[in-house]
Structure 1
Amino acid sequence: MAAPDRLSKFRERLELPLIAAPMFLVSGVDLVTAACTSGVIGSFPTVNCRSTEQLDDWISAIEQRTQAHADKSGRRAAPWCPNLIVHRSNARLADDLTVLLAHKPEIVITSVGSPEPVIKPLHDAGAMVLADVASIRHAERAAAAGADGLVLLTAGAGGQTGWLNPFSFARAVRKFYDGVIVLAGGISDGVALRAATALGCDLAYMGTKFIATEESLADPRYKAMVVSSSADDILLTKAFTGLQTNMLRPSIVAAGLDPDDLPERGAIDIGKDIDVGAREQRPKRWRDIWSAGHSASGVGGVVNVAELVQRTADEFRSAA
């Protein structure tokens, strides 16, 4: 019996079963638009916008550009997908949600907390809701809350990440969950993407390779560091965020810190007890200390998004 096509409503618009992952201070209008018009889902954290008003502007620009592409090519772009932080610490949650509801995105990813409070309004607006999860228990709770899909944060994903082996995690979740599964972590090429589908996943994230694209918001030094790094240069630490986070060791060294002698659990870069001038000079997480995943080993250079997607599609087809 053939597996169900959970992405049937988007299938003809997708070149690959892939999401250009939402990356803090990296994913912007140019990257999202280029991903969507190349045939992969383009996502971005809403907090990348400085304000709710800018969020409205970003989405309007993405809508206009993707529509212009459709008018010119005759083919609708892949969906654009905002990533909404649902934790109570996000002071803009209600306002950002209002903007999303007005624009009616086809897909929304929720992160850092239960998706339950936003599922009904998003469903009413016609959105498919995908929820980030980092453990079996998280997955069970998000499924029970009514999430249409689960993004499995596994060992090797860039930024704040999970810790489970992707093979074990995906197979365990598929045993009890029949919704959309997205594998996040270690997808460095089309062969890895093909493997994710063999595991029973419907989609996968690719993040680190999109950092090193011409359209990303990343600092040129950040892009160059991703290109020159390998999986051995990725450090899993709680020192910068209080949560398990994969960071680039060379960026930690460049900030004047010893990656092998870091304090524990969010002790760096808070800066609440120092004067403003000193705080401005301190290395900042995300701005100066950069994240990446194990798939840094698969980054060979800075390319444009269309080239990256085409290369990945060729690899994906050859691995069939």
Structure 2
Amino acid sequence: MLPPILQNLRIPVVASPMFIVSGPDLVIAQCKAGIVGSFPALNAREKDGDPIQLEAWLTRINEELDRHNQSNPDHPAAPFAVNQIVHRSNARLERDIEICHRYKVPIWITSLGARTEVNAAAHDCGGIALHDIINNVFAKKAVEKGADGLIAVAAGAGGHAGPLSPFALVQEIREWFDGPLLLSGAIATGGAVLAAQAMGADLAYIGSPFIATTEAHAPQEYKQMIVQSGAMDIVTSSLFTGVSGNYLAPSIRNAGMDPANLETADASSMNFGGDSKPKAWSTIWGSGQGIGAVKDVVPAATRIDQLAAEYAAAKDRLAHL
């Protein structure tokens, strides 16, 4: 059974936290439209001596969602989540944990390593911790270290995607784990959300379709490339961060490289002390394989309306088979 905070969503969807792209505008729009919105803590950056941006973002999100809930008691906003990169190179981790604990962030998403102290901090302020994994071994380690739920990042997902079929990954996890399970990997329609549930996941974890929204903090060229591209335009490479990820081939070509002949890099090159990738790669844009379903740039609420309509239609279609 899902914990109360993940129940009563408009549709069973958590919006994934996207590097650079996810910020307060997008998160607030997603939550008001009835799905969990999220952002990476590292997206909130400030120059030395400036006020702490993460605190400003959390203040704004909490205040705007509270105003919405007071004005719409019958249709309250969904909760929000903050993603913590727990890799050892993230020098901000301890500071960001303290801030999220102080602001009582309701949902914590952890990536690139499972840390008991992060899960403990989430629990201590009344939150839940979800950890993203790419295989069953990492899934078991995450639960052993106190994660409440798992995000199965399968083949076709944007960003740091796993290599496994969603069918295989969900099947193996569900053999031993009956807690909250989210599925990520080329989910871009309401029908795909229902399919994720049919195979055993509780919720879908959707990122790339929200790049092509008006609230996304992404260059217009990036948004249009999402609209104009499809699954065949996605390239898998470890070159840009040291971990295998999925990227838009046109952005790689625009940077003067051949998407079919990229060098590789290993995990030792990962560094989250500042930007998560060198400035040389700043216009290499990530995406999952599901973007063929994205036909235009629209407000996040419109995208969620579409997902909700497709989800209802898919349920109706199956009921009449």
User: Is the structural similarity TM-score above 0.5?
Assistant: yes
Match in the other structure for 2:204:
204
Match in the other structure for 2:122:
122
Q: Deviations over 1:147-198 (max 9, x none)?
A: 1000111100001111110011011101111110010111010000000111
C-alpha distance 261-283 of structure 1, shift in aligned 2 (>3 A): farther
2:21 equivalent among 4, 17, 26:
26
CA–CA distance in 2 between the matches of 1:115 and 1:134? 16
Q: Give me the identity figure in percent.
A: 41
Aligned 1:81-230 pairs, distance under 5 A = 81-230=81-230
**Does structure 1 residue 57 correspond to structure 2 residue 53?**
no
**CA-atom RMSD in angstroms:** 1.7
**Does structure 1 residue 317 correspond to structure 2 residue 305?**
no
Q: Deviations over 1:106-162 (max 9, x none)?
A: 110001101322111211111110001111100011111121000111100001111
C-alpha distance 100-36 of structure 1, shift in aligned 2 (>3 A): same
Q: CA deviation at 1:284?
A: 2.9
Q: CA deviation at 1:8?
A: 3.7
1:284 equivalent among 280, 286, 291:
280
After TM superposition, the score normalised by the length of structure 2 is 0.91
Query: Secondary structure, in 3 states, of the residue corresponding to 1:182?
Result: strand
Q: CA deviation at 1:283?
A: 6.2
Match in the other structure for 2:250:
250
CA–CA distance in 1 between the matches of 2:129 and 2:229? 34
Query: Secondary structure, in 3 states, of the residue corresponding to 2:298?
Result: coil
After TM superposition, the score normalised by the length of structure 1 is 0.91
Counterpart residue type for residue 159 of structure 2? G
Match in the other structure for 2:76:
76
CA–CA distance in 1 between the matches of 2:24 and 2:115? 25
Q: CA deviation at 1:9?
A: 4.1
Q: Deviations over 1:60-115 (max 9, x none)?
A: 00111111111222232101100001111100000000000011111100011013
Mean alpha-carbon deviation: is it higher for 302-311 or for 69-78? Answer: 69-78
Q: CA deviation at 1:240?
A: 1.2
Cα contact 1:132–1:152 (8 A) shared by 2: yes
CA–CA distance in 1 between the matches of 2:127 and 2:5? 12
Cα contact 2:161–2:245 (8 A) shared by 1: yes
Query: Secondary structure, in 3 states, of the residue corresponding to 1:120?
Result: helix
Query: Secondary structure, in 3 states, of the residue corresponding to 1:224?
Result: helix
Match in the other structure for 1:276:
none
Mean alpha-carbon deviation: is it higher for 156-165 or for 47-56? Answer: 47-56
Counterpart residue type for residue 64 of structure 2? R
C-alpha distance 283-229 of structure 1, shift in aligned 2 (>3 A): farther
Match in the other structure for 1:39:
34
